[in-house]
Structure 1
Amino acid sequence: MIAVFYTLHAAINIYWYIVIGAAIFSWLYAFNVVNSRNQLVDSIGNMLYRLTEPALRPIRRVLPDLGGIDISPIILLLALTFISVFLDTTVQPMFGIGSM
């Protein structure tokens, strides 16, 4: 059971950084800092989009239009942090697992 919690925490932490990377990449892309015609840049952007869009799309549907400002990554990061804290404070003590 401990391995499941460590794996879940690792997955949440990795995904947290992927969401931050996707947000930073979208800013770089929007302000023309990166060359979108470069195949490597396009591959990285496509990978980040495919990894984050399934989680961001439902959040975007619920949020109101804020005039071009997308706060869905912030909401997703808050949700991931909430899940991580919930696992640490509620689920782990129920199974008698020490803190990480």
Structure 2
Amino acid sequence: MTSILMILLLAIDIAFWIVLAHIIMSWLINFNVLNLQQPLVYQIWSGLNRLLEPIYSRIRSFLPSAGGLDFAPLVLIFGLYALEIIFTNMLRGQF
């Protein structure tokens, strides 16, 4: 059971870094630091979008409209941290 929980914690950490990379890359693209005309940038961006957009769209379906702000990544990071806390407590036997 300990091994499974540790693997789940690793998966949560990887998911957190993927979401963080997507957030930072979106800022860099919006401020014209990165250009989507570059093939490598476009491939990374489209890969991250294909990976995260199904999750974001489910989160956006129950979030109220906030104008131009997208709170889906923030909600996802919050959910990942909540899962990490739950699994860490289960690992320590405090659940």
TM-score (norm 1): 0.86
Aligned-residue sequence identity (percent) comes to: 36
- In structure 2, C-alpha distance between the alignment counterparts of 1:87 and 1:22, rounded to whole Å: 25
Larger relative contact order, structure 1 or 2 (CA cutoff 8 Å, min sep 6): 2
Aligned position for 2:45: 45
Larger mean CA deviation between 48-57 and 74-83 belongs to 48-57
Q: Which runs of 5+ in 1 are unaligned?
A: 96-100
The one-letter amino acid paired with 1:6 is: M
- In structure 2, C-alpha distance between the alignment counterparts of 1:82 and 1:62, rounded to whole Å: 18
Aligned position for 2:20: 20
The one-letter amino acid paired with 1:83 is: L
Q: Secondary structure at the match of 1:77?
A: helix
The one-letter amino acid paired with 2:28 is: L
Report how many residues are paired: 94
- In structure 2, C-alpha distance between the alignment counterparts of 1:69 and 1:47, rounded to whole Å: 22
TM-score (norm 2): 0.90
- 1:3 CA drift (Å): 1.6
- 1:56 CA drift (Å): 1.2
Aligned position for 1:67: 67
The one-letter amino acid paired with 2:69 is: I
- In structure 1, C-alpha distance between the alignment counterparts of 2:32 and 2:86, rounded to whole Å: 39
Aligned position for 2:3: 3
- 1:62 CA drift (Å): 1.1
Q: Secondary structure at the match of 1:53?
A: helix
Larger mean CA deviation between 47-56 and 72-81 belongs to 47-56
Q: Which runs of 5+ in 2 are unaligned?
A: none
The one-letter amino acid paired with 1:29 is: I
- 1:94 CA drift (Å): 6.9
Would you identify which runs of 4 or more consecutive aligned residues in structure 1 move more than 3 Å? none
